[in-house]
């Protein structure tokens, strides 16, 4: 699936420490599927490490609301 590939590219960038580069990929995955808890969580983490704490919390909270367990 194309969106899974987009999210995977974001994960690869993030894991390599290229946080800023990962953010657009996570955003694209969420635009395609706003109820993707994993992509919301990943974007929240990436934004946190990028120093954007307010937006980070928005996506981390969304992730928990989508999938509380």
What are the φ and ψ backbone dihedral angles of 67, each rounded to 5 degrees?
-140, 90
Task: Count other C-beta atoms under 10 Å from residue 26's C-beta.
Answer: 28
Q: Where are the alpha helices (DSSP H) in 16-36?
A: 19-32
Read off the pLDDT of residues 28-60 as tens digits, 9 standing for 90 and up: 999 999 999 999 999 999 999 999 999 999 999
- At 69, the pLDDT band (50, 70, 90 cuts) reads confident
């Amino acid at each position: 699936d194309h969106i899974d590939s987009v999210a995977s590219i974001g994960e690869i960038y993030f894991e390599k420490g290229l946080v800023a580069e990962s953010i657009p990929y996570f955003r694209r995955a969420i635009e395609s599927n706003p109820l993707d808890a994993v992509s919301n969580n990943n974007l929240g983490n990436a934004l946190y490490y990028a120093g954007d704490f307010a937006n980070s919390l928005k996506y981390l909270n969304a992730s928990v609301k989508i999938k509380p367990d």
